Chain A
């Protein structure tokens, strides 16, 4: 993999390569070059299999990390391309014409992270959720427990006691 990264480096801005395992590498890419890079990797380097496309929310840095995981089945090499995009008005470039199955991933990202993929087929249709009006739920600032408590009813009659406080009271009743 090092060879490949070195080979590509002169032509693409690749940063921060992580050689996680012998068969797994992660590398940062830029948005302008993503498309060309993916096409080259698919057509010339044998990375023909799109394993997954997902996002990681680095809310502290105001970034979404899009991970394009592609696989070369012949050489048994997996390459994860990390693309950082701005978290506000997040937008990615659709790659459904390179891999048709990416359209599904992009639909999911649109719904669960609120990342727009203009041009991707049916990307704005509801995918998993139905009647969802809140913020995209996979964003870090969405608190699922708080939402759940504010939306659904839980069975009442449960209360718990802190062992620390109870024991303190038991041993030192006067305080």
Chain B
């Protein structure tokens, strides 16, 4: 039976009978650990509804549900969690792009109704909404990259003296790294006026399938070369990656695809119209992005398209408004070549009103698309703005592109803070560098740097190139020589410090601090404060007949004007923006196509 010890020793267990039980007196509702992963919380102000949480949830526990009063830049959705699915793994918290989703350390939820176990954190009120403790991501987001790869570009010294393209584009490795950061939420697609399938072509980059990428690009945009370089990339402003890191370089990725597909290959991929000619004829006025996009779409639908362009070369503002160092002309030519390959006829050097009239177009064509762009510079109308030596930026840019002689003085002032101001300032700087070996450009902008209109990169690069940018300065007078040989010519620019730009109602009424006055001694002042359309070509009769909307031709949602034969779009209708113009082109083309098909049907 073993030793006596074996019999007696077990009784030592009885010493516990006099100890206080170790039971927790009141266990219900006991607080969980600080890091405990309990029910979700969501800071709905931070959340952008990108749906990354839904994507990563391996339990399909998360639904994206529309909520009231979404803010700008979010999808208007918020995650709803189904606790009949959730496993509290917190991958949704880890992946959350804004850090808005967290978990409280509350864990008790009992209900006899099985349908009750779902709610939208932050929207549906829950007892644990205000809990401080719980799980939140430690440190930076680890599940997807935070920063862009550095892109190779010309050093300021190397680029300032010429119009060579500055950025080199991504290498394959860089592009894959950058493409890998995308979480495919699609907020960019929604934001992009042309609704380009951005996540899809980014996915094509990851796969290394540039043919597919090109195909995706051409589905929504025939100007990939252009947009890959100079697009205003509204998509990047809503990118989910920007909240805890840098937004995905969508524009550069687009360019990366097109850089990797030769022109011939591109023509093969895009091909030619696959439909029978409809016999319908369309005239497009203006070979800018809107017009050419419309022409491209219509040609692919089987219509015969003729584009009339006043300048010598097609491209419109893309060619004559954007300096070559940003958009090399051969890139633009490659885009246009694809469009031409669709059978689009482009008649350059044909100005409406002088070479051919709209009435003729009305008579000869089944439909006419008006996309004349904004080719006239606006003036500040401050005293002296009509003096010699005061130039319009848009005009100067056109002349530089066209190879015409432009005056290049040693000191230039640019009024304006938009991208056009930067373009002309940097163009002038290059010309000055070529001519004098040094740069003397001053940009005065109404906005301060926090609210600057031009892209950040533009500003930084301008600084790098030695351009002086003065923010929050309002032009008061263009000082001219009162006497001497150059009497009446520009002598300088007088500016005041801006204290505010808009009044409380949001109207444009700049206020100045008159004590902070500066006079910039320059020989030339360039006004870059906006452009307007040259509507004189419409003719009085048509101008009368059309409906107008704040000085722009009024169009309906499809781009149709009040005249049944006439469609309008592009900058002239919607303001300056390439991608917007492309989107307009598509819209118009679709509308024209519907009308023409109906017409063709009727003619049969």
Q: Do chains A and B touch in the complex (CB under 8 A)?
A: yes
Given A155-B114, A158-B63, verify A164-B186 contact (CB < 8 Å). Answer: yes
Min CB gap B427→A, angstroms? 34
Which of B36-72 touch A at CB < 8 Å?
A: 49-51, 54, 62-66, 70
Q: Do B190 and A168 touch (CB < 8 A)? A: yes
Answer whether residue A157 sits at the interface, using C-beta atoms and an 8 A cutoff: yes
From B50, B82, B195, contact of A163 by CB (8 A): B50
Which of A132-175 touch B at CB < 8 Å?
A: 155, 157-168, 170-172, 174-175
Answer whether residue B428 sits at the interface, using C-beta atoms and an 8 A cutoff: no
Q: Do A166 and B76 touch (CB < 8 A)? A: yes
- Contact partners of B118 in chain A: CB under 8 A: 158
As a 0/1 sequence over residues 187 to 226 of chain B, the CB contacts with chain A under 8 angstroms (1 = contact) are 1011100010000000000000000000000000000000
- Contact partners of A166 in chain B: CB under 8 A: 49, 64, 66, 75-77, 190
> Chain B interface residue count: which class?
20 to 34
Min CB gap B119→A, angstroms? 12
- Among A159, A160, A165, find the residue whose CB has the most chain B CB atoms closer than 10 A: A160
Complex CA–CA separation, A17 to B186 (angstroms): 44
CB nearest to B63 among chain A residues:
A160
Answer whether residue B271 sits at the interface, using C-beta atoms and an 8 A cutoff: no
Given A174-B557, A175-B557, verify A160-B191 contact (CB < 8 Å). Answer: no
From A155, A161, A172, A175, contact of B65 by CB (8 A): A161
Complex CA–CA separation, A166 to B185 (angstroms): 11
Complex CA–CA separation, A159 to B114 (angstroms): 17
Given A170-B190, A171-B191, A175-B557, verify A164-B64 contact (CB < 8 Å). Answer: no
Q: Do A163 and B63 touch (CB < 8 A)? A: no
Which of B151-199 touch A at CB < 8 Å?
A: 185-187, 189-191, 195
Complex CA–CA separation, A7 to B277 (angstroms): 73
Complex CA–CA separation, A171 to B64 (angstroms): 17
Q: Do A160 and B75 touch (CB < 8 A)? A: no
Q: Do A157 and B115 touch (CB < 8 A)? A: yes
Min CB gap B168→A, angstroms? 31
Answer whether residue B74 sits at the interface, using C-beta atoms and an 8 A cutoff: yes
CB nearest to B76 among chain A residues:
A170
Which of B80-129 touch A at CB < 8 Å?
A: 82, 84, 114-115, 118
Give how many A residues have a beta carbon under 8 Å from the other chain's beta carbons: 18
Q: Is the interface of B mostly helix, strand, loop or mixed?
A: mixed
Q: Do A161 and B66 touch (CB < 8 A)? A: yes
Q: Do B185 and A163 touch (CB < 8 A)? A: yes
- Contact partners of A159 in chain B: CB under 8 A: 63
Q: Do B190 and A171 touch (CB < 8 A)? A: yes
From B70, B186, B191, B557, contact of A162 by CB (8 A): B186
Complex CA–CA separation, A163 to B190 (angstroms): 9
Complex CA–CA separation, A170 to B72 (angstroms): 10
From A161, A170, A174, contact of B64 by CB (8 A): A161
From A168, A170, A175, contact of B70 by CB (8 A): A170
Min CB gap B577→A, angstroms? 14
CB nearest to A164 among chain B residues:
B186
- Contact partners of B115 in chain A: CB under 8 A: 155, 157
Q: Do A167 and B76 touch (CB < 8 A)? A: yes
As a 0/1 sequence over residues 25 to 65 of chain A, the CB contacts with chain B under 8 angstroms (1 = contact) are 00000000000000000000000000000000000000000
- Contact partners of B195 in chain A: CB under 8 A: 168
Complex CA–CA separation, A170 to B195 (angstroms): 13
Min CB gap A161→B, angstroms? 5
- Contact partners of B557 in chain A: CB under 8 A: 174-175
CB nearest to B52 among chain A residues:
A163
From A155, A161, A164, A175, contact of B190 by CB (8 A): A164
- Contact partners of B187 in chain A: CB under 8 A: 163-164, 167
CB nearest to A158 among chain B residues:
B63
- Contact partners of A158 in chain B: CB under 8 A: 63, 82, 118
From A155, A164, A168, contact of B84 by CB (8 A): A155
Given A158-B63, A158-B118, A170-B75, verify A163-B70 contact (CB < 8 Å). Answer: no
- Among A158, A166, A170, find the residue whose CB has the most chain B CB atoms closer than 10 A: A166
- Contact partners of B63 in chain A: CB under 8 A: 158-161
Complex CA–CA separation, A145 to B186 (angstroms): 26
- Contact partners of B84 in chain A: CB under 8 A: 155
Complex CA–CA separation, A168 to B198 (angstroms): 13
Complex CA–CA separation, A170 to B66 (angstroms): 10
From B54, B62, B65, B186, contact of A167 by CB (8 A): B186
Complex CA–CA separation, A72 to B54 (angstroms): 46
CB nearest to B54 among chain A residues:
A160
Complex CA–CA separation, A155 to B85 (angstroms): 10
- Contact partners of A163 in chain B: CB under 8 A: 49-51, 64, 75, 77, 185-187, 190
CB nearest to B234 among chain A residues:
A171
As a 0/1 sequence over residues 69 to 103 of chain A, the CB contacts with chain B under 8 angstroms (1 = contact) are 00000000000000000000000000000000000
- Contact partners of A171 in chain B: CB under 8 A: 190-191
Complex CA–CA separation, A161 to B118 (angstroms): 16
- Contact partners of B191 in chain A: CB under 8 A: 167, 171
Complex CA–CA separation, A165 to B66 (angstroms): 11
Q: Do A167 and B66 touch (CB < 8 A)? A: no
- Contact partners of A155 in chain B: CB under 8 A: 82, 84, 114-115
Complex CA–CA separation, A165 to B50 (angstroms): 11
Given A170-B70, A170-B190, A171-B190, verify A162-B64 contact (CB < 8 Å). Answer: yes
- Contact partners of B186 in chain A: CB under 8 A: 162-165, 167
- Contact partners of A162 in chain B: CB under 8 A: 51, 64, 186
What are the 3 closest A-B residue pairs judged by CB atoms, nearest first? A164-B186, A167-B190, A163-B75
Enumerate 7 A-B pairs (CB-CB under 8 Å) in ascending A order: A155-B82, A155-B114, A160-B54, A164-B185, A164-B186, A166-B49, A166-B75
What 7 additional pairs, Cβ within 8 angstroms, besides A163-B75, A167-B191, A171-B190?
A160-B63, A162-B51, A164-B75, A167-B77, A167-B187, A172-B190, A175-B557
